[in-house]
A and B are shown apart, each in its own frame.
Chain A
Amino acid sequence: MSTEKQTENYSAKAEVAQVKTRRSYLYIVLRELKNAPFTAWLGLILTLSYIFVAVFASFLAPYGESQVFPISYAPWSNEFYLGTDHIGRDILTRLIYGARNTIGIAFLTTALSFVIGVSLGLIAAITRETLLDQILGRFVDVLMAIPLLIFALMLLSIFGPSALNLIIIIAVLDSTRVFRLTRAVALNIVVMDYVEASRMRGERLFWIMRREILPNIIPPLVAEFGLRFCFVFLTIASLSFLGVGIQPPTADWGSMVREMAGLIQFAELDIQIAITPLLPAAAIAILTIAVNFIADWFLHKTSGLIDVE
């Protein structure tokens, strides 16, 4: 589509008649990516490779998830690339399956947290200053007055540690943060005339939430999704490390660190053995850094802040 207008032989009729070719979504994404800084690229590539490993875990892993071999604490070799753990499971296999389980559970939790947080936040913003909004706000205040990890520990001791309980507990507790953000950004939108107009038309609450407000608050929510994912991911990893999160025999990075931590003291005798327990921890750290880089870049793009540059 040509943008320059020639003053001679210009005709308004022709311009109106011109077929407008909208830039495709893919084109916009590619154009943005071309200008992305190095850290964002690094983050994207790392995150995509994690997702690849997580999705194709069962094809990539050399052995079964909890297949036990007769040698425990085997050294690094061609048969077991990263050795075996205390009951003789291949560590590389556990790492690959751990990607699927750990990332999968953290992703599900974050998604559930957003479903709860965003819908309640939108309802609170639309029905602002009413009793419902007040109750939701105070309730969230009280939930946020207890540190998340402590609250999660307490609830896990009551309901027992299982993957489902873990997902629900962390999602509900984390959704308070999403609620706060959603309500705050949605409050700027609900005062717009078009929302008023849709209300006058007699649209239902759900329609207003989904069609009028949600599209306008997507950018900050997407960036927040990245940051919340990091937080949830680290929290679940910490809980698993403490032994009350994801339970064996499910392969999970946090519990792998816990199981193998004792090996660090043999660093002087065999550096490979000592580094092995750090591998799952490094896997956690690298993914978090990668997602943080992407979220940072996205925040920067959408908020239009010129502070850092």
Chain B
Amino acid sequence: MHPVLITIIKRLLLGLFTLFLVSLIIFSSISFLPGDFAQAVLGQAALEDTVAAFRRELGLDEPIFLRYFDWIGGVMTGDFGVSFSGRASSGIDRSRAVIDLIGPRLYNTVFLATMAAIVAVPLSLFLGVTTALFRNSLYDRVVSTTTLTAISIPEFFMAYILVLLLSTFNKFFPSISNVSADMDLAERIYRTTLPALTLTLVIVAHMMRMTRAAIINLLANPYIEMAQLKGLPPYKIIIYHALPNAWAPIVNVIAFNLAYLIVGVVVVEVVFVYPGLGQLMVDAVSMRDIPVVQGCALIFAATFISLNLIADIISIITNPRLLHPR
């Protein structure tokens, strides 16, 4: 078998194993809940029978590994359990399945993240590469200082400044982006503009700095200097010597920052009251609705791990040293 294939398979297995361990951590977190949370969820006035039934439903009387396999089996088939909220002490159960809560919001979050990524990725790669090529010029200094300032600003500050400028002083965009399923695409994009713009600004700053550092690192290699000394024209140096080695760092930068989007999305969704997964998770955390929190955390973590996995595999595939083994 080709050695690259073996490396990729190893990496895939490692990724799967990490995912397994992460799911184990997320699941077992529920066992650290202090006290009897069946009572806490249902309230002081809950009847003995109701509490007992709820405990049985959660399977608290079964050993933890059985419960884990039960849970993970459900997750595989799209069943994340039932939300804690909507349960009353009287035993009337108005709670909803976690998947019904997550489903539509997941779509909204993916929509928002994609919108931000479509603008942010090309823009920051362009800025990063050009500042690296013309480093120490005035252009580089201005862009670098601006982005250093931008990464130091909390997301919500950026968001509110944009609201102040683009929503209250000039009424370009709505400051609250309440999208719903029956909206047409243009309307949806219009309402999502401000959150997407906030995310874009935050991501571009991070991504541009990392791209710049990666490219500068690359250009410092001896073989680039060698190519310059042999008198190759600059475009040939870039295409034949720099680019094949640049894929891996660039892909890593992109994956890292798309993963960063996951975190940014939580804060930005709350600022703009955008009905997404991040907002759902924050609400669930403040209401201590553990099944919803677990579901959201698992989705975020799985996205994060898969993005890194894809980046690793792409950098293995594009690595010239691995592709042409001696």
User: In the complex, how many angstroms separate the beta carbon of B165 from the nearest chain A beta carbon?
Assistant: 9
Q: Is B224 in the interface zone, CB < 8 Å from A?
A: no
Contact between A155 and B304, CB atoms less than 8 A apart: no
Size class of the B contact interface (CB-based, 8 Å): 35 or more
Q: Is B109 in the interface zone, CB < 8 Å from A?
A: no
Contact between A142 and B152, CB atoms less than 8 A apart: no
Contact with B along A277-309 (1 / 0, CB 8 A): 110011011001100100010000000000111
Contact with A along B139-172 (1 / 0, CB 8 A): 0000000001101111111001101100011000
Q: Is A68 in the interface zone, CB < 8 Å from B?
A: no
Give the residue name and chain of the B residue nearest to A138 (CB).
B21
The one of B164, B282, B289 in contact with A274, judged by C-beta atoms closer than 8 angstroms, is B164
Contact between B294 and A145, CB atoms less than 8 A apart: no
Contact with A along B259-284 (1 / 0, CB 8 A): 10011001100110000000001101
* Complex Cα spacing A281 to B161, Å: 10
* Complex Cα spacing A159 to B29, Å: 10
Residues of A within 8 A of B77 (CB): none
Residues of B within 8 A of A157 (CB): 284-285, 288-290, 293
Residues of A within 8 A of B284 (CB): 157
Q: Could you say which of A119-127, A181-189, A239-247 contacts chain B?
A: A239-247
Contact between A307 and B297, CB atoms less than 8 A apart: no
Give the residue name and chain of the A residue nearest to B30 (CB).
A158
Contact between B297 and A153, CB atoms less than 8 A apart: yes
| Interface residues in A, total, Cβ within 8 A | 47
Contact between B156 and A238, CB atoms less than 8 A apart: yes
* Complex Cα spacing A141 to B19, Å: 11
Contact between B282 and A147, CB atoms less than 8 A apart: no
Residues of B within 8 A of A278 (CB): 157, 160-161, 164
Contact with A along B16-43 (1 / 0, CB 8 A): 0011011001100110111000000000
Give the residue name and chain of the A residue nearest to B145 (CB).
A39
Main secondary structure of the interface of A (DSSP, over half): helix
* Complex Cα spacing A156 to B284, Å: 11
Residues of B within 8 A of A243 (CB): 282, 286
Give the residue name and chain of the B residue nearest to A141 (CB).
B18
Total A-B Cβ pairs within 8 A: 143
* Complex Cα spacing A261 to B156, Å: 10
Residues of B within 8 A of A288 (CB): 152-154
Q: Is B192 in the interface zone, CB < 8 Å from A?
A: no
Q: Is B252 in the interface zone, CB < 8 Å from A?
A: no
Contact between A146 and B294, CB atoms less than 8 A apart: no
User: In the complex, how many angstroms separate the beta carbon of A308 from the nearest chain B beta carbon?
Assistant: 8
Contact between A285 and B152, CB atoms less than 8 A apart: yes
Residues of A within 8 A of B216 (CB): 307
Residues of B within 8 A of A60 (CB): none
Q: Could you say which of A4-12, A210-218, A264-272 contacts chain B?
A: A264-272
The one of A242, A254, A289 in contact with B149, judged by C-beta atoms closer than 8 angstroms, is A289
Residues of B within 8 A of A149 (CB): 263, 266
Residues of A within 8 A of B300 (CB): 146-147, 150
Contact between A285 and B18, CB atoms less than 8 A apart: no
Give the residue name and chain of the A residue nearest to B281 (CB).
A153
Contact between A284 and B297, CB atoms less than 8 A apart: no
* Complex Cα spacing A261 to B25, Å: 35
Give the residue name and chain of the A residue nearest to B300 (CB).
A150
Residues of B within 8 A of A266 (CB): 168
Residues of A within 8 A of B263 (CB): 147-150
Residues of B within 8 A of A307 (CB): 135, 216
Contact between B154 and A150, CB atoms less than 8 A apart: no
Q: Is A64 in the interface zone, CB < 8 Å from B?
A: no
Given contacts A267-B169, A289-B149, contact A150 B18 (CB under 8 A): no
* Complex Cα spacing A261 to B161, Å: 11
Q: Is B305 in the interface zone, CB < 8 Å from A?
A: yes
Given contacts A264-B164, A264-B168, contact A150 B297 (CB under 8 A): yes
The one of B25, B30, B34, B266 in contact with A242, judged by C-beta atoms closer than 8 angstroms, is B266
**Which chain A residues (227-264) contact chain B, with CB distance < 8 Å?**
230, 234, 237-238, 241-244, 254, 257, 261, 264
Q: Is A154 in the interface zone, CB < 8 Å from B?
A: yes
Contact between A142 and B21, CB atoms less than 8 A apart: yes
Contact between A153 and B155, CB atoms less than 8 A apart: no
Contact between B34 and A159, CB atoms less than 8 A apart: yes
Contact between A265 and B285, CB atoms less than 8 A apart: no
Given contacts A230-B152, A264-B168, A268-B169, contact A150 B157 (CB under 8 A): no
Contact with A along B95-139 (1 / 0, CB 8 A): 000000000000000000000000000000000000000011000
User: In the complex, how many angstroms separate the beta carbon of A110 from the nearest chain B beta carbon?
Assistant: 16
Residues of B within 8 A of A267 (CB): 164, 168-169
Q: Is B189 in the interface zone, CB < 8 Å from A?
A: no
Given contacts A157-B290, A278-B157, contact A151 B34 (CB under 8 A): no
Residues of A within 8 A of B305 (CB): 145
Give the residue name and chain of the B residue nearest to A243 (CB).
B286
Contact with A along B191-207 (1 / 0, CB 8 A): 00000000000000000
Interface set of B (CB-CB < 8 Å, partner A): 18-19, 21-22, 25-26, 29-30, 32-34, 135-136, 148-149, 151-157, 160-161, 163-164, 168-169, 175, 216, 259, 262-263, 266-267, 270-271, 281-282, 284-286, 288-290, 293-294, 296-297, 300-301, 304-305, 308
7 closest A-B pairs by CB: A281-B157, A288-B152, A157-B285, A267-B168, A289-B152, A285-B153, A146-B301
What are 15 inter-chain pairs, A to B, with CB distance below 8 A?
A153-B293, A157-B290, A158-B32, A158-B33, A159-B32, A238-B156, A241-B154, A241-B267, A242-B267, A244-B285, A265-B168, A274-B164, A281-B156, A284-B154, A285-B157
